[in-house]
Amino acid sequence: MSIRLGIIGAGGIGQVHAQAASDAGHPAKVLCDLDQARAEEAAKPWGAEAMTDVDAMLARDDLDAIVVALPNCLHAPMACRALEAGKHVLLEKPMAMNVAECQDVIKARDAADRLLQVGFVCRFAAPVQAAQQFIDSGRLGRIYHVRAAMYRRRGIPGLGRWFTTREQSGGGVMIDLGPHLVDLALHLTGRPQVVSANAVATSIFGSPLYEYRFTNMWAGPPNPDGKFDVEDGASVQLRCADGLSISLEMAWASHLPDGTLPDGVTLFGEKGAMHFDMWGDHLMIGTEMDGELVDVKHTVPEGEGWGTAFQREHENFASNCTSSTAPTASAENGRDVQSVLTAMYASVDSGSTALVAD
Ligand SMILES: NC(=O)c1ccc[n+]([C@@H]2O[C@H](COP(=O)([O-])OP(=O)(O)OC[C@H]3O[C@@H](n4cnc5c(N)ncnc54)[C@H](O)[C@@H]3O)[C@@H](O)[C@H]2O)c1
């Protein structure tokens, strides 16, 4: 059984969702955006309807589910509205601006008796799913350390627009790429409780005086009159209750040539260690067998990547909706990730270790 889907937010990722929903066999029926031209352009390839009135969209009884692909400050309020209107929701990351908003969403979900899935799309990347199988089979043994990184060379999304305006985004690279990295580290290690965070953040490439402000950044032309009051790089240490340590590095921009440092996830276990790039085509596993060091290269099918991960996310979401199955990328997972992000920002602000609230 298919779902009847609407997408709110027809920007960069709203359009990726529209493609993915079509690839998953349930093309969006409606795309809604404040910007009418953008809604129309995004709706066209799928023969979908374009709307600008969110209330009118949510009031329709021919939509079962909504993707919320809006600026971060609108995630929780819009998710609550959609749930209250009786829709299932696929909510982009980060789940919200703060933990209190996550709780609001959870309450709205429970009151509405609908599904709320958080857009932790990296879980659906082929190398991540293969890694999960190796971990579940015990190949790594107990995992004692995770290192995860996402480095970009010129990847500030929308310099001077909402992504770089704290009031609308809640922060910079830590709240943008951080949810993927934190969620993956926890997802692959059985979701241990994170106890504390130690984070250092930098803000280099958005400075008005900086010469790279106007070159080669992502997501359209920068807004020279806009704000940049967020961090663009961060280094984070997380300590978990079971002894696991997690080390995260992320940068929206840097001068490092692409590929110099390994991007992706590295897991260190007592029996084996593994590295993969989320969007790569293989995993490397190192272990010992019969007293010999053994390296295994496990390849995943060609053509797997960003688009396929979104397609799988949509297949999973549709299947959860139609079978009333609670999503594994749950609101509770989203809230736990948000608690870690909150502690990361508290650590940056205080210059010392911050405890993660239960
Ligand atoms: N899962 C991922 O890997 C991934 C990747 C990119 C972005 N995202 C997330 O997706 C969200 C959107 O990011 P983006 O890059 O698409 O941003 P974007 O700025 O390209 O698009 C946001 C869209 O929302 C529209 N909009 C704003 N307020 C609205 C309202 N009240 N009603 C209707 N439309 C409204 C804007 O006109 C714009 O078209 C962000 O939260 C971001 O973190 C996730």
Range of the domain at 57: 5-121+309-329
Statement to judge: residues 20 and 70 lie in one domain: yes
Q: How far is the CA of 158 from the centre of ligand 1 (A)?
A: 11
Q: How far apart are CA 287 and CA 295, in angstroms?
A: 7
Whether the model pTM is above 0.95: yes
* Helix spans in 3-49 (H): 12-23, 36-43
Q: How far apart are CA 147 and CA 159, in angstroms?
A: 28
Q: Atom of ligand 1 at shortest distance to CA of 169?
A: 41
Q: Find the CATH number of the domain harbouring 191.
A: 3.30.360.10
CB 97 within 8 A of CB 72: yes
pLDDT in tens, 252-279: 988 888 888 888 999 999 999 999 999 8
Q: How far apart are CA 7 and CA 133, in angstroms?
A: 32
145: three-class secondary structure by DSSP: strand
State how far the alpha carbon of 55 is from the alpha carbons of 85, 106, 168, in Å: 9, 21, 21
- Among positive and negative, which fits the CA dihedral 248, 252, 255, 258? positive
Residue among 38, 70, 180 to mutate when testing ligand 1 (max atoms within 8 A of CB): 70
Statement to judge: residues 227 and 244 lie in one domain: yes
Statement to judge: residues 243 and 151 lie in one domain: yes
Statement to judge: residues 35 and 132 lie in one domain: no
pLDDT in tens, 274-319: 999 998 999 999 999 999 999 999 999 877 777 799 999 999 999 9
Statement to judge: residues 70 and 142 lie in one domain: no
Q: Is the CB of 178 under 6 A from ligand 1?
A: no
Which residue type sits at 300? V
State how far the alpha carbon of 23 is from the alpha carbons of 10, 16, 309, in Å: 17, 11, 11
Q: Atom of ligand 1 at shortest distance to CA of 35?
A: 37
How many structural domains does the chain have? 2
Statement to judge: residues 273 and 168 lie in one domain: yes
Statement to judge: residues 91 and 143 lie in one domain: no
Q: How far apart are CA 287 and CA 282, in angstroms?
A: 16
Statement to judge: residues 37 and 169 lie in one domain: no
Statement to judge: residues 319 and 296 lie in one domain: no
Statement to judge: residues 90 and 186 lie in one domain: no
Statement to judge: residues 208 and 262 lie in one domain: yes
CB 239 within 8 A of CB 347: no
Statement to judge: residues 60 and 131 lie in one domain: no
CB 156 within 8 A of CB 164: yes
Long-range contacts, 260-264 (Cβ 8 Å, 24+): 261/149, 261/151, 262/149, 263/149, 263/150, 263/151, 264/127, 264/148, 264/149
Of 194, 125, 151, the C-alpha closest to 341 is 194
pLDDT in tens, 54-84: 999 999 999 999 999 999 999 999 999 999 9
